[in-house]
Amino acid sequence: MGWVHESDRHFHEAALVPFFEDGAESHGSTMVDGVDYELVETGQRRTGDRRRSSAEIVGWLLRCVCRRRDSSDLYSSEVSAWTDPVRWTRVPSASLEDLGQHRVFATDTDLDVNVRPEVMAAAQAVWRREHLDPIDVVDEIRAAAEARRDADARLDAAVAKARRLGHSWADIGAAAGMTRQSANERWRDRV
């Protein structure tokens, strides 16, 4: 496909996928006798390919193929897909192109819009904002909560060690950025 994003829990691969007037989608392209053709699936299950001229492309779908990582740090065989509900429309002239409005100009000989840097940047911005950020923010919360639990456990262990070594609550409170009384109230039952 096109662009990859990998996090601790997910793997994502996205691209703009060509589609035709009747809603059929391309799953690749080929060249026959100097003419570009798009390979189109012929039914729900991929029973064969049909060739259609690349000139028939009317737009693109922003699609991501997603996999989850399991506990063994391998990717799940379960694959899901996300498709942006806003279609990227092919316009007939460069003057009509407006990437912010998902309007893309492409000549019949230059239809792989995934390689155009400005189209790629616009599509990636939508992909990140609409698909990845909502997933990544949950992962960020999870990671921050885990880091906080680890830090709290290390702090509790350090306070317990300080008390065993005879440090006062005033010393511990000063090291932790709190008053003697606050330190005592927080850790007296834990150490």
Judge whether 61 lies within some domain: yes
Is 71 within the bounds of a domain?
yes
Whose tokens are 């259609």? That residue is: 52
Is pLDDT at 46 greater than 50 in this prediction?
no
pLDDT at position 72 is 62
Residue 2 is predicted with a pLDDT of: 83
Evaluate if pTM is beyond 0.85: no
89 confidence band (pLDDT: 50, 70, 90) = very high
Q: What is the mean pLDDT of residues 95-100?
A: 96
Residues 146-161 have a mean pLDDT of: 93
Helix axes 133-164, 180-187, angle to 10 degrees: 100
The domain of 67 spans: 3-113
Per the listing, tokens 């409170």 go with: 173
Label residues 131-154 b or e (16+ Cβ within 10 Å = b): bbeebbeeeeeeeeeeeeeeeeee
Residue 186 lies in a domain: no
Q: Report the C-alpha gap between 113 and 123 in whole angstroms.
A: 10
Q: pLDDT at position 74, please? A: 62
Residue 131 included in any domain: no
Looking at residue 8, its pLDDT comes to 75
Task: Classify strands 57-69 and 10-20 as parallel, antiparallel or unpaired.
Answer: antiparallel
